[in-house]
């Protein structure tokens, strides 16, 4: 498998295709080698700057795939040469940033040269299709208001060779730990259900960093083939959140769609834009990069 990586603010991102991710999963399951796939986006990369435990989990995962165009833009921008002279460097980098933004519309082949974006929800469905071909067992954990169950039942109608199981689980804190004694009991029941089901694939849908930290804490004690975090994926499949138009996804404007359709998440969404691009810009003007000719 292509093991090329990009690095953004100290976070390693795998640059690969959806087809190669599927090949990786097939190989690891065939060889009974447990794996853990994470799907960082700009919000998660920003959070990892303060949360070193989260950063360590992402950097030690089996695969860290870029969930959306924002990380591809950042990676391409950071690899561009810039002058060492500080008076020239700031305006030079500013215009580089404008060009990277335009490339989102005009030259995606160039833009994605360093890091290919793979939407987590699309990778999730690709893996469900693969599971259907192989007759695998799939466990859905997390979601809210029955989203996991609705997602599993909908998928079961189309992918009849997959054996599905699901549990919502308790409420977790930011460390991925239950917030109450009752939650601890419920967590044990979820772990027991997973281990008795012995899924080939475990998908965990919570807010970051809860999902990453929960898997990291439990993965060595789970009877699974591999695990992947999927964030809000169940919301979309359950119909609790509208999918963004394809053109908005393609141009890296999903943050704007989410701001319109999920205003209660505004604080988190604004991390994707403009806070993340600004942080990347400030990072570049203060670090050494190859000097422009």
Give pLDDT tens digits for 215-239.
Answer: 999 999 999 999 999 999 999 999 9
Determine the 3-state secondary structure of 10 from DSSP: coil
Q: Which long-range contacts (CB under 8 A, 24 or more apart) does 271-275 make?
A: 271/42, 271/43, 271/46, 271/47, 272/41, 272/42, 272/43, 272/70, 273/42, 273/70, 275/46
223 φ, ψ to 5°?
-85, 75
Residue 2 has pLDDT above 60, yes or no: no
- Examine the pLDDT at 1 and tell me if it is beyond 70: no
Task: Report the pLDDT value the prediction gives residue 291, as an integer from 0 to 100.
Answer: 58
Rounded to an integer, the average pLDDT of 166-171 is 97
Mean pLDDT, rounded, for 282-292? 76
Residue 257: both structure tokens together = 């769609």
Distances (CA, A) of 137 to 26, 32, 159, 197, 233: 13, 14, 11, 8, 19
Asked whether residue 134 carries a pLDDT value surpassing 80, the answer given is: yes
User: What is the pTM assigned to this prediction?
Assistant: 0.94
The angle subtended at Cα 287 by Cα 50 and Cα 65, nearest 5°, is 55
Residue 198 pLDDT grade (very low, low, confident, very high; cuts 50, 70, 90): very high
Residue 104 in this model has a pLDDT that exceeds 70: yes
Q: What is the pLDDT of residue 243?
A: 86
Model confidence band, residue 190 (pLDDT cutoffs 50, 70, 90): very high
pLDDT band at 4 (very low <50, low <70, confident <90, very high): low
- The whole-number pLDDT of residue 269 equals 76
Spatial CB neighbours of 9, under 8 Å, sequence gap ≥ 6: 45, 46, 48, 49, 74, 279, 280, 283
Q: pLDDT band at 256, cuts 50/70/90? A: confident
Question: Which phi and psi angles does 203 have, rounded to 5°?
Answer: -110, 125
Note the pLDDT of residue 210.
98
Q: pLDDT at position 293, please?
A: 44
| Distance between start and end Cα atoms, the chain | 35
Rounded to the nearest 5°, which phi and psi values hold at 249? -60, -50
Q: What is the percent of the chain where pLDDT is above 70?
A: 97
SS3 284: helix
Cis (ω within 30 of 0) for the bond into 113?
no
Whether 205 shows a pLDDT value over 60: the answer reads: yes
Q: CA–CA separation, 28 vs 34, rounded Å?
A: 7
Average pLDDT of the segment spanning 93-109: 95
- Please report where in the chains the tokens 């809000």 appear, as a residue: 232
- At 21-58, the pLDDT tens digits run 999 999 999 999 999 999 999 999 999 999 999 999 99
Q: Average pLDDT, stretch 132-154?
A: 97
Average model confidence (pLDDT) for the chain? 93
Q: What per-residue confidence (pLDDT) applies to 3?
A: 55
Coil, helix or strand at residue 160: coil
Average pLDDT over residues 146-170: 97
């Amino acid at each position: 498998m292509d093991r090329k990586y990009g690095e953004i603010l100290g976070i390693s991102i795998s640059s690969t295709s959806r087809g190669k991710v599927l090949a990786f999963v097939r190989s690891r399951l065939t060889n009974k080698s447990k794996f853990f796939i994470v799907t960082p986006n700009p919000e998660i990369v920003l959070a990892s700057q303060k949360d070193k435990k989260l950063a360590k989990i992402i950097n030690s995962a089996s695969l860290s795939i870029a969930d959306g165009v924002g990380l591809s833009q950042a990676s391409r921008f950071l690899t561009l040469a810039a002058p060492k002279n500080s008076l020239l460097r700031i305006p030079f980098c500013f215009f580089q940033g404008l060009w990277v933004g335009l490339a989102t519309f005009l030259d995606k082949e160039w833009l994605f040269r360093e890091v290919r974006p793979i939407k987590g929800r699309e990778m999730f469905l690709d893996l469900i299709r693969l599971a259907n071909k192989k007759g695998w067992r799939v466990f859905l954990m997390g979601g809210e208001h029955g989203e996991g169950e609705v997602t599993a039942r909908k998928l079961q109608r189309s992918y009849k060779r997959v054996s599905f199981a699901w549990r919502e689980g308790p409420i977790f804190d930011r460390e991925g730990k239950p917030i109450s004694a009752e939650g601890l009991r419920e967590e044990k029941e979820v772990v027991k259900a997973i281990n008795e089901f012995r899924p080939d694939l475990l998908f965990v849908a919570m807010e970051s960093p809860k999902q990453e930290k929960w898997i990291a804490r439990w993965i060595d004690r789970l009877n699974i083939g591999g695990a992947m975090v999927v964030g809000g994926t169940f919301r979309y499949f359950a119909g609790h959140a509208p999918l963004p138009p394809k053109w908005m996804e393609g141009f890296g404007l999903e943050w704007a769609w989410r701001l319109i359709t999920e205003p209660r998440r505004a604080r988190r969404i604004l991390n994707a834009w403009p806070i993340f691009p600004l942080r990347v810009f400030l990072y570049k003007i203060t670090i050494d990069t190859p000097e422009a000719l």
